[in-house]
Amino acid sequence: MEKLFSHPSSLRDVVTHYCPGCGHGIVHRLIAEVVDELEIREKVVAIAPVGCAVIAYDYWDFDCAEAAHGRAMAVATGIKRVRPETVVFTYQGDGDLAAIGTSETIHAANRGENITGIFVNNAVYGMTGGQMAPTTLIGQKTATTPHGREINLPGMHGYPLKISEMLAQLAAVRYVERVALFSPPEVNKAKKAIRLAFQNQIDNLGFSLIEVLSPCPTYWGMPPKKALDWTREVMAKEFTLGRIK
Amino acid sequence: MAKININRDKCKGCLICISFCPKGIIVLDENLNRKGIKPVKVKENEECLGCAMCAVMCPDCCIEVYK
């Protein structure tokens, strides 16, 4: 009997601290599988964010660095420029990449740095208790928007920030795609997109960003399967899936 | 002939695999695992198709598929 599916060797065999049903586990595994398939384990450098994935370096069995909140793209730029032979990617959430790190993200993309960004969008700040993030959907209830995100007075919380569409407008950006995790075919598409983003970097083609719509059952207040369905039915309507650039 | 192995001590009981198994052979285990969580177990391995949908969706990488 042949082994069809098992643990990728770049992923440590440990129990993660993520909540049951969290999408981070799937994205970690996809990245580890891509690193194994491209045989770049000895030259890949991951930049961990601040957020739920802050101790991602305990889960991947390759080189990792930890950046200050939002500064993963700046750290990745430095590592890639000093060691151009490495394959550098950042792993960031929406609070990290789209809020405090907006400036670093936009300027790294605008310079066309030859790095890969994996952007895990779950529409809330998971680590700090489910507060509203820039990507929170209109009407979505979070710890800081108990009546839902409002676009008019009295709240005026603004609209969901579509960072992928923003970056796609920049001339130096090579590849931007938005994927999701709500079904096995979508997970396979996500893996393909991550693989292409790494391949672009290996081929020196420039900046790539993959946005992954990921469930956060705990702070959406739903069971894990319902959170996956919510990603498909509500989140994917606001954040359109597919290749943006 | 296919079968799956579930690492019951890594399972966090999110039950996503149960909803994606086309044969419905994964069920909730009433016995707690080492973390004090009710994990999932395989009811009838003979029915397994080896489609790996459970393993692809498992956020904690606890399922191995053999075919």
**Which pLDDT score, from 0 to 100, does residue A155 have?**
85
How sure is the predictor about B46, in pLDDT bands with cuts at 50, 70 and 90?
Answer: confident
Segment A88-104, tens digit of pLDDT: 999 999 999 999 999 99
**Which pLDDT score, from 0 to 100, does residue B1 have?**
80
**Which pLDDT score, from 0 to 100, does residue A154 have?**
86
**Which pLDDT score, from 0 to 100, does residue A104 have?**
96
A26 touches B: beta carbon within 8 Å: yes
Q: Which domains does chain B have, with CATH numbers?
A: 3-66 (3.30.70.20)
Segment A177-227, tens digit of pLDDT: 999 999 999 999 999 999 999 999 999 999 999 999 999 999 999 999 999
Which residue of chain A has the CA closest to B54? A184
**Which pLDDT score, from 0 to 100, does residue A241 have?**
97
**B55 chain-A contacts, CB cut-off 8 A:** 5
> From the list A4, A22, A225, which residue is nearest B19 (CB)?
A225
**Which pLDDT score, from 0 to 100, does residue A1 have?**
85
Residue ranges of domains in chain A: 24-243
pLDDT less than 70: residues of chain A: none
Give percent above pLDDT 90 in chain B. Answer: 91
State how far residue B35 is from chain A, nearest Cα, in angstroms: 10
Domain A24-243 has what CATH class?
alpha beta
Burial class (CB in 10 A: 0-12, 13-18, 19+), A120: buried
B15 touches A: beta carbon within 8 Å: yes
**Which pLDDT score, from 0 to 100, does residue A120 have?**
97
Does the structure show a pLDDT above 90 at B44? no
Instruction: Average the pLDDT over B7-36 and give the result.
Output: 95
Q: Could you give the CA distance from residue B59 to residue A235 in angstroms, rounded to a whole number?
A: 19
**Which pLDDT score, from 0 to 100, does residue A130 have?**
94
Check: CB of residue A24 under 8 Å from CB of residue A53: yes
Own/partner long-range contacts of A185-191 (Cβ < 8 Å, ≥24 apart): A186/A241, A187/A26, A187/A30, A187/B56, A187/B57, A188/B56, A190/A26, A190/A27, A190/A30, A191/A30, A191/A33, A191/A34
**Which pLDDT score, from 0 to 100, does residue A150 have?**
94
Q: Could you give the CA distance from residue A179 to residue A142 in angstroms, rounded to a whole number?
A: 23
CB contact under 8 A, A6 and B65: yes
Predicted TM-score (pTM) above 0.90: yes
